[in-house]
Amino acid sequence: MSVTSDKPKKSPKVQGSPRDKTPKSPRTKSKGAKSKEATAERFAALEEVGQNSLDLLLVVDKSGSVKYANPAALATFGISLEESIGTDAFAYLHPDDVERVSTQFLELLQTPRGSIRDTVRIVAANEEVRDIELVSTNALASVAVAGIILNGRDVTEHNNYVKQLHVLEERFRLAFEDNMAPMVFTDLDDRVFAANDAFCNMIGFSREEVLGKDSTPFTHPADIGITEASHRRILRGEEGQSRYVKRYLRKDGRLIYVEVSRSPARDEDGQILYNVISERDITDERTLAAELSHQALHDTLTGLSNRALFTDRLEQARAKIARDGGLYAVLLLDLDDFKGVNDSFGHLAGDQLLQAVARRLEHVTRATDTLCRFGGDEFLYLTEGLNSPKDAELTATRLLDALVEPFSVAGTRVEQQASIGVTVSDGTKFEMNDLVRNADVALYEAKREGKGRFVLFTPSMHQQVVDRFELVRELRQALQSGDLRMHYQPIVDLDTLEIVGFEALMRWQHPVRGWVPPNVFIPAAEQSDLILDLGYFALREAISAASSWKQSGEETKDLSIGVNLSARQFHDPGLVSIIESVLAQSELSPEQLVIEITESVTLHNVSETMNVMEQLGRFGITFALDDFGTGYSSLSYLALLQPKIIKVDRSFVSPKMKNSLNVALLEAIVSLGLKLNMTVLAEGIETPAQFERLRNFGCELGQGFLWSPAIPKEEVPAMLRRGLTASTIS
């Protein structure tokens, strides 16, 4: 209850105060009381002390009425001296403290010369609550005082400060001890005097094991200097805060990476008191970053370098060569006939083979070289520190030798060879794209020469590439302008010498080059999408020509027309619909169309090849396996594909080396076809002796210059009317 300036001189009764228990005597002087002068003299000494004291000083009688209050007390209560004299001292107490203080007051009245120390709360006139540290002393027996002396000190600000300190300490305790971030405090010698649980858990040591020690026992030996250098810089004032990464060796031996933030705590004069160190375990982040970096620079299937890393290593090699001299080489390696593995065993087996090849190549890769998976079944190899191109050739030989031993894929031994294109540079001539392009040119030559070998790039090869590009450009123009034409070579029944069909062969007469052989422009076209356009041109022209012969009235009912399809054309998704459409627009029976495919077509994708053959077979279209006997796996594919016709390659019919072994081999091939109930057609028959030999072996069909080269379609009707007789071959 507060005291105001209009409060009556006589304080209100406070419930539970000693005034309820001790009857008051009237405020009249007893007969034995001394005069006012004696009273003033009695308090003079007390007032002299209280007047200049900063502490609160009050005197109350045994009923609790105020007899005296010094200026400090009056200022604290916010009242005047006149307002205080005679009032109930308990009226100034905080209501929650009245009962406790009243009990203490009654006890004090029973204890002469006793005293009680306590902290009480008072309510000032402005309703502000103040904390008073109070000492109450029983001086009733004193002649000079004859009352209870209350000596107090306002400790409100002090208590508030202490409370704030407690709050801050609790916050700090929570921020330090319960912090999920590892934290330690170290002294000026960098020895730990406080460590939270998170720090101890991070390094695997207990608090007792780290207190009083520096971080040396659990720091990686190579990183001890990092901490010491940071501590010295802060002590010298060279930096206000330090941040660095170091490695800790946990108690269990595991290595962890930690990011450390070190800050000095200073006093009001700026002197360093201790170090506050906050740490963070970044091991997982480092591991993830390393994994992401590895993924960004390495092939996911084989784990080898990818193009990005290879480019970076190439730039480093160029800089080194420019500085130190010497040569380096880029080798482009391509697996030969790799698609056959995918087709035969599936893509999973193909991936396993690529991984096995990568491990083989890695095994022979020098520490200073770089092996890269370039894409698909191609690998790039960068070798540095070469003295001559011969060193690059030795490297290529080493890589090819690594693939000699067969691989085990899907439980099957697979022989996998490769071709390599090699380009050598002194670091000043070519950019990466040029180097890879030149290696690719050399690789093309290696494939063309028979695979399983390497070829070193020469400037003349680049000119060949330019020439090939120009040839393709002119070939495209020829297709558009109509300079490409189809000629037709007769297919002869070797028993009756009757013409039973024709093979459509493409011819190109260049206005400047003259006649360009198919073995020149067809391979060039196969390196571009132009091969598809050429293939469909041949298909349409051949079917149209065969239809025209029938319409001319010649006996062409049973004549077949053979058309060669490239691997890319045969596996074109639109092939079946195109053939169906072209046949529908002609009068040619599907049974008269013979699609000729080589072994390379079947190897491209065996399952897809069989699917296309099945679809076209439903129309009645016949298939012939061309150039039979030239591929290592032809025999195995005969039973799988079951073509109606096998065409014996001219290399068996007209061998360069004539001997009895060649004759026996030719007889065996013809015999094999007959036993498999397949029609055998021999290519390249040029002499009567070859004709007689084949007929004696039982070969049914043949074609070659013995009868006729390929002729324009306009000449076919005359040939059919004239026919072939025995005199033709005499």
Residue 33: its pLDDT value, please?
43
Residue 727: its pLDDT value, please?
40
> Does pLDDT of 140 surpass 80?
yes
Q: Which of 428, 457, 486 is the last residue of a domain?
A: 457
Lowest mean pLDDT among 44-58, 315-329, 348-362, 515-529: 44-58
Q: Which of 236, 266, 287 is the last residue of a domain?
A: 287
DSSP state of 96: G
Nearest to 697 by CA among 678, 671, 676, 679: 671
Q: Does a structural domain hold residue 729?
A: no
Residue 389 shares a structural domain with residue 442: yes
DSSP state of 271: -
Q: Does a structural domain hold residue 656?
A: yes
Q: Which of 265, 287, 309 is the last residue of a domain?
A: 287
| Mean pLDDT score, 448-474 | 85
User: How far out from the chain centre does Cα 556 lie?
Assistant: 65
Residue 281 shares a structural domain with residue 370: no
**Distance from C-alpha of 303 to C-alpha of 297, rounded to nearest angstrom:** 9
Residue 84 shares a structural domain with residue 141: yes
Lowest mean pLDDT among 61-75, 169-183, 257-271, 516-530: 169-183
Residue 27: its pLDDT value, please?
43
Contacts of 142 (CB under 8 A, 6+ apart): none
Whichever domain contains 264, its CATH number is 3.30.450.20
Report whether 429 contacts 330 (CB < 8 A). Answer: no
Contacts of 146 (CB under 8 A, 6+ apart): 42, 61, 139, 140
> Does pLDDT of 686 surpass 80?
yes
**Distance from C-alpha of 145 to C-alpha of 413, rounded to nearest angstrom:** 120
Strands 454-456 and 593-597, sheet pairing: unpaired
Strands 701-702 and 711-712, sheet pairing: unpaired
**Which position has the higher pLDDT, 657 or 216?**
216
Contacts of 119 (CB under 8 A, 6+ apart): 131, 132, 133, 134, 155, 159
| Mean pLDDT score, 410-439 | 85
Question: Is 674 in a helix, a strand, or coil?
Answer: helix
Residue 107 shares a structural domain with residue 247: no
Residue 12: its pLDDT value, please?
37
| Mean pLDDT score, 160-180 | 74
Report whether 643 contacts 617 (CB < 8 A). Answer: no
Residue 278 shares a structural domain with residue 360: no
Number of domains comprising the chain = 4
Residue 661 shares a structural domain with residue 521: yes
Contacts of 683 (CB under 8 A, 6+ apart): 647, 648, 649, 650, 653, 702, 703, 704
Average pLDDT of the chain to the nearest whole number = 84
Nearest to 179 by CA among 171, 169, 167: 171
**Distance from C-alpha of 277 to C-alpha of 234, rounded to nearest angstrom:** 12
State pLDDT tens for residues 266-309.
888 888 988 999 999 998 888 887 777 777 788 889 999 988 88
**What is the token pair recorded at 557?**
């009912």
Using pLDDT thresholds of 50, 70 and 90, give the confidence band for residue 358.
very high
**What is the token pair recorded at 312?**
């970076």
Question: Is 350 in a helix, a strand, or coil?
Answer: helix
> Does pLDDT of 350 surpass 70?
yes
Look up tokens 């010295």; give the residue.
Answer: 232
Residue 250 shares a structural domain with residue 305: no
Residue 522: its pLDDT value, please?
87
DSSP state of 219: B
Q: Does a structural domain hold residue 728?
A: no
Using pLDDT thresholds of 50, 70 and 90, give the confidence band for residue 604.
low
Using pLDDT thresholds of 50, 70 and 90, give the confidence band for residue 493.
very high
Question: Which residue type is seen at 476?
Answer: R
> Does pLDDT of 459 surpass 90?
no
What's the chain's Rg over C-alpha atoms? 55
Residue 8: its pLDDT value, please?
36
Residue 430: its pLDDT value, please?
64
**Distance from C-alpha of 328 to C-alpha of 427, rounded to nearest angstrom:** 7
Contacts of 229 (CB under 8 A, 6+ apart): none
Percent above pLDDT 90 for the chain: 42
Lowest mean pLDDT among 49-58, 144-153, 287-296: 287-296
User: How far out from the chain centre does Cα 447 lie?
Assistant: 35
Could you list the beta-strand ranges (E) of 566-621.
593-597
State pLDDT tens for residues 182-215.
989 999 999 999 899 999 999 999 989 999 999 9
Count other C-beta atoms under 10 Å from residue 236's C-beta. Answer: 8
**Distance from C-alpha of 404 to C-alpha of 416, rounded to nearest angstrom:** 8
**Distance from C-alpha of 288 to C-alpha of 271, rounded to nearest angstrom:** 41
**Distance from C-alpha of 457 to C-alpha of 131, rounded to nearest angstrom:** 98
Using pLDDT thresholds of 50, 70 and 90, give the confidence band for residue 41.
low
Look up tokens 């032809």; give the residue.
Answer: 634
Q: Does a structural domain hold residue 7?
A: no
**Which position has the higher pLDDT, 321 or 499?**
499
Count other C-beta atoms under 10 Å from residue 211's C-beta. Answer: 13
DSSP state of 90: G
| Mean pLDDT score, 43-47 | 66
Residue ranges in 552-597 assigned as alpha helix (H): 567-570, 575-584
State pLDDT tens for residues 566-601.
888 888 888 999 999 999 998 889 999 999 988 767
Residue 200 shares a structural domain with residue 132: no
The DSSP result for 362-404, as a single string, is HHT--TTSEEEEEETTEEEEEEEEESSHHHHHHHHHHHHHTT-
Q: Does a structural domain hold residue 171?
A: no
Residue 690: its pLDDT value, please?
93
**What is the token pair recorded at 298?**
């390495």
> Does pLDDT of 259 surpass 70?
yes
Size of the chain in residues? 730
Using pLDDT thresholds of 50, 70 and 90, give the confidence band for residue 552.
low
> Does pLDDT of 347 surpass 60?
yes
**What is the token pair recorded at 58?**
């009050």
Residue 143: its pLDDT value, please?
67
> Does pLDDT of 3 surpass 90?
no
Residue 700: its pLDDT value, please?
95
Residue 35: its pLDDT value, please?
44
Q: Does a structural domain hold residue 264?
A: yes
Question: Is 4 in a helix, a strand, or coil?
Answer: coil
pTM for the structure as a whole: 0.51
What's the Cα-to-Cα distance from 84 to each of 4, 46, 125, 153, 393, rounded to whole Å?
Answer: 10, 17, 12, 18, 115
> Does pLDDT of 389 surpass 60?
yes
Residue ranges in 486-529 assigned as alpha helix (H): 518-526
Residue 68 shares a structural domain with residue 96: yes
Supply the range of the domain harboring residue 115. 18-161
State pLDDT tens for residues 627-666.
887 755 556 667 778 899 999 988 889 887 677 788 888 8
Residue 555 shares a structural domain with residue 701: yes
Q: Does a structural domain hold residue 401?
A: yes
**What is the token pair recorded at 448?**
């063309």
Q: Does a structural domain hold residue 5?
A: no
Nearest to 405 by CA among 371, 367, 361, 460: 361
Residue 4: its pLDDT value, please?
30
Residue 265 shares a structural domain with residue 303: no
Residue 602 shares a structural domain with residue 629: yes
